[in-house]
């Protein structure tokens, strides 16, 4: 007896194939074969609907990019630091309303008594980025150099909790808090309590002395407009404060990051109660006079994530971006569609937000 293929399933497969072809065409126009490029990954529910690499991870060896290529995800790392803080809060070992003076009695100004962990998590502390060092010093700067100015800081840009200003040194402070409360080095804590439970077996933090540990490593690149015009490596040794970790030091792949998304959905690393708090708008980004980073309409910061609430024409999106050296990263989740979009690139000369919107349109979420 002749078996007929279910028409509905056939239609779904044809639609998915059409969408994949459309996105593939968009990415090929944006990321060329013999240049630095990107890994692009889309998952809806538990189904991976797009998983392709474009361009080169290493211009010298000509290693190509795929879903197992490791990128520095830069500030997308902040959500892992936030989850570490929430884990300790869930155990009663710290409280989000704890003042910074509790953890850093060496900081001299009185205002440290009114800045809380919540303010650091939401980029609303008022602490300025006053890292005034020569570039050649900042290129090899670490956590200590990133935060030492706070010892004698004598002013805030605004009253804590009243405005948004995106700065990296405050997330470095959160890494120190994790160390002080847990008794473990920050990277050890995250590996044991976050990476391992999430199944991210190869994900790791950058270590300037052990770069050989990074598997399938992509280098970041910038196009140098000189004679001859060329792509030049642009990562550690070329960009400032590349080696700090709690604010942006993770190396991972799109495949490993998808495991992180599954862990968040399954409460493997943190309960939904705390995650929903992190994914709730805490401070308005739009229109802030203090920072232009992701300062667009209908944009807020939660705790470790940006949030664009749903509107009449768009669904809610929870995301983070990352920029360091030649790396430009996007990790976005869509609760209504149960979708994840990852774009990990080792070049920064493309329009991240435009590509994100094209993917939203192609897959209708």
Which parts of the chain have pLDDT scores under 50? 1-3, 5, 9-10, 12-13
Res 227: pLDDT: 78
Give 156-197 pLDDT, tens digit per residue. 999 999 999 999 999 999 999 999 999 999 999 999 999 999
Look at strands 306-308 and 300-301 and give their pairing.
antiparallel
Please choose, from the candidates 219, 179, 183, 187, the residue with its C-alpha nearest in 3D space to the C-alpha of residue 59: 219
Tell me what pLDDT residue 9 has: 46
pLDDT for residue 225: 83
Closest CA to 327 of 69, 52, 63, 104: 69
Cβ-contact 302, 282 below 8 angstroms: yes
Q: pTM for the full model? A: 0.94
Cα 50 to Cα 80: distance, rounded to the nearest angstrom: 25
Give the CATH fold of the 18-30+39-363 domain: Beta-lactamase (3.40.710)
Strands (E), the chain: 38-44, 47-54, 56-58, 63-64, 71-72, 204-205, 221-224, 230-233, 250-252, 283-284, 300-301, 306-308, 317-324, 327-334, 339-345
Asked if 269 and 194 count as a contact pair (C-beta separation under 8 A), the reply is: yes
The Cα angle at residue 357 between residues 70 and 199, in degrees rounded to 5? 30
**Exposure of 100 by Cβ count < 10 A (0-12 exposed, 13-18 middle, 19+ buried)?**
buried
Phi, psi of 243 (to 5 degrees): -90, 0
């Amino acid at each position: 007896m002749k078996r007929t293929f279910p028409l509905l399933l056939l239609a779904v497969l044809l639609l998915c194939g059409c969408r994949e072809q459309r996105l593939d065409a968009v990415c090929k126009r944006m990321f060329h074969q013999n240049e630095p490029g990107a890994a692009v990954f889309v998952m809806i529910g538990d189904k991976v609907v797009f998983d392709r690499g474009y361009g080169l991870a290493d211009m010298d060896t000509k290693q190509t990019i795929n879903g197992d290529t490791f990128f520095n995800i830069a500030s997308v790392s902040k959500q892992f630091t936030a989850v570490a803080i929430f884990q300790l809060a869930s155990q009663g070992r710290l409280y989000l309303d704890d003042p910074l003076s509790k953890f850093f009695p060496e900081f001299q100004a009185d205002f440290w008594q009114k800045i809380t962990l919540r303010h650091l998590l939401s980029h609303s502390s008022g602490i300025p980025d006053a890292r005034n060092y020569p570039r050649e010093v900042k290129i090899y700067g670490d956590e200590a150099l990133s935060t030492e100015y706070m010892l004698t800081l004598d002013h805030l840009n605004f009253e804590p909790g009243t405005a948004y200003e995106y700065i990296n040194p405050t997330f470095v402070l959160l890494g120190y808090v994790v160390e002080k409360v847990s008794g473990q080095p920050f990277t050890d804590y995250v590996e044991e309590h976050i990476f391992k439970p999430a199944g991210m077996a190869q994900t790791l933090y950058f270590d300037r002395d052990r770069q050989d540990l990074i598997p399938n490593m992509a280098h970041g690149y910038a196009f140098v407009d000189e004679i001859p015009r060329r792509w030049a490596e642009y990562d550690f040794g070329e960009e400032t404060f590349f080696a700090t970790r709690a604010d942006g030091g993770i190396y991972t792949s799109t495949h490993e990051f998808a495991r992180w998304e599954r862990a968040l959905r399954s409460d493997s690393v943190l309960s939904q109660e705390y995650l929903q708090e992190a994914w709730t708008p805490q401070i308005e980004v739009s229109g802030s006079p203090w920072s232009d980073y992701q300062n667009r309409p209908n944009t807020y910061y939660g705790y470790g994530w940006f949030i664009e609430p749903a509107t009449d024409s768009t669904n809610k999106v929870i995301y983070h971006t990352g920029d360091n050296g030649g790396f430009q990263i996007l990790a976005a989740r869509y609760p209504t569609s149960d979708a994840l979009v990852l774009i990990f690139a080792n070049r920064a000369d493309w329009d991240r937000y435009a590509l994100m919107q094209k993917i939203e349109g192609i897959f209708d979420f």
